[in-house]
Amino acid sequence: MSKAACHHQWTMTNVRPGYLVIEGCFHCRNRISFFSEEAVAPIDDYHEGEHFWSHLSHYQAAQFDLKCEKCDAEVPLKDVMALMLCTKCDPNCGCYAAAIQEPDKKTWVYAALCANTSHSPNKCIAPESLRALNEYFNQGTKDPAKKIAVVPCSLRKSVDTCQGIVLADFGLTDLY
Amino acid sequence: MKVSELVTKTGLKTFNEGADKEIMGVYISDMVSDIVGMKEGNLLITLQTHKNLIAAANLVDVAAVVFSRNRTPADDVVALANKAGIRLLGYDGDTWSLAKKLCELKIA
C-alpha cells in the first residue's frame, strides 16, 4: 500500500525517556526548552550570540515517534517537547478557540509545545507531526462525542498567563 | 468487565461518578510521561494524585483510575476528572495486592 493512500494505524515507537529542560535569557526574557536524554539533566548557564541562557527548571519526560503499523510510515516527533492540556483559561486565546470549534463535540485541546516559546523564528510544530498526533490520539477512542485536538503552541496567547497542564513529571527530580 | 462490576467485586472506594467503561486491561504507572504511551481502555493504577495525571489519563482514554495506598485526590483533581468523565477509585492496600486481585478476577 502506498503511504499516501494509507489510513494510518499509528503506534508509538522510539520512546526516549529523558528530561524536559527549560531555560530563560535574562537579556531578552525569552524562554526555550529542549529535550535531554542525558542521565542527569544539564543545568549549566551558557552564552549564545546575544542570549544568556540560564537553567530555570527540568522535569522527567519522554519523547516518542509515531509509526504506521500498516504502511511503515514514520513521523519523527523530535520537535515536540511536551503536550499541554488547555484549561480554557482565556477566551481570547487561540487554544480556547480550538476547543469550541465543534459545538457538538467535547473537544479536549492539547497544545504540542515546541522548543522556542517566543516563536521568533516563526517556527512551531510541523503540520505533519500535528496530523499524526491527532490521528494517533483519536484512533482508539470509544466515545464518538469526544475529540482530542492537538494544536501548535503558537496558538497560545501568552506563555506567562497560560494555566495549561503540562504532561511531564513534576517534582520527581527535586531530590537531586 | 465494566468498572461498576469491578467496584462491586472488590469494594474499591469511589471518589466520583464517571462513565461506566469496559475495562480492556490494566496498566500500573506513577509517571505521566509513561502513561501517555498507554493503550486506551486500561484501568490505570497509580500513587500519583496530581492533576496532570488526569490530563494524561484523558488523552489515552482510560477505563478508570485507581489510587492505591489510600491516596485521596484533591477537589480540583476530582473536578477535572468529572469534566473528562473519568471514574476515580481508591484502594487502601498496596499496588501489588490490588494487582493480584485483578489477576484473580481475570482482568489483567
User: How sure is the predictor about A10, in pLDDT bands with cuts at 50, 70 and 90?
Assistant: very high
A34, three cell numbers? 529542549
Count up the domains in chain A and report the number. 1
Q: Is A134 left (phi over 0), alpha (psi -120 to 50) or beta?
A: alpha
Tell me if chain A has a CB within 8 Å of the CB of B41. yes
| Residue A136 maps to a domain | yes
Contacts of A143 in chain B (CB under 8 A): 19, 61, 85
Contacts of A12 in chain B (CB under 8 A): 37
Q: Please tell me the predicted confidence (pLDDT) of residue A176.
A: 45
| Residue A176 maps to a domain | no
| Residue A120 maps to a domain | yes
Find the CATH number of the domain harbouring B78.
3.40.1390.20
Tell me if chain B has a CB within 8 Å of the CB of A9. no
Measured between alpha carbons, how far is A59 from A173 in angstroms, rounded to an integer?
Answer: 7
| Residue A3 maps to a domain | no
Q: Please tell me the predicted confidence (pLDDT) of residue B108.
A: 67
CA B30 from chain centre, in angstroms, equals 11
Under 8 Å between Cβ of A41 and A21: yes
Are A169 and B56 an interchain contact pair (Cβ–Cβ within 8 Å)? no
| Residue A5 maps to a domain | no
With H, G, I as helix, E, B as strand and everything else as coil, classify residue B27: strand
Q: Is A128 left (phi over 0), alpha (psi -120 to 50) or beta?
A: alpha
Q: Which amino acid is at A165?
A: I
Where is B1: in which H helix or E strand?
none
Count up the domains in chain B and report the number. 1
User: For residue range A74-121, what is the model confidence (pLDDT) as tens digits?
Assistant: 999 999 999 999 999 999 999 999 999 888 889 999 999 998 887 777
Measured between alpha carbons, how far is A10 from B91 in angstroms, rounded to an integer?
Answer: 34
User: How sure is the predictor about A1, in pLDDT bands with cuts at 50, 70 and 90?
Assistant: low
This prediction's pTM: 0.91
- Whether the per-residue pLDDT at A160 is higher than 90: the answer is no
- Write the DSSP symbol of residue A113: E
Under 8 Å between Cβ of A98 and A109: yes
Number of Cβ pairs < 8 A linking chain A and chain B:
60
| Residue A23 maps to a domain | yes
Label residue A13 exposed, middle or buried (CB < 10 Å: 0-12, 13-18, 19+). Answer: middle
Closest CB from A12, A64, A167 relative to B52: A167
Range of the domain at A35: 10-166
Give the residues across from A108 on adjacent strands: A148
Range of the domain at B12: 3-104
**Alpha-helical regions (H) of A19-163:** 94-99, 127-138
Closest-approach residue (CA) in chain A for B83: A106
B7, three cell numbers? 467496584
Under 8 Å between Cβ of A43 and A57: no
Instruction: Report, in angstroms and rounded to the nearest whole number, the Rg of chain B calculated over CA atoms.
Output: 12
| Residue A156 maps to a domain | yes
Tell me if chain A has a CB within 8 Å of the CB of B76. no
Under 8 Å between Cβ of A25 and A83: no
Find which of B2, B3, B21, B33 to mutate to test the A interface (most A CBs within 10 Å of its CB): B33
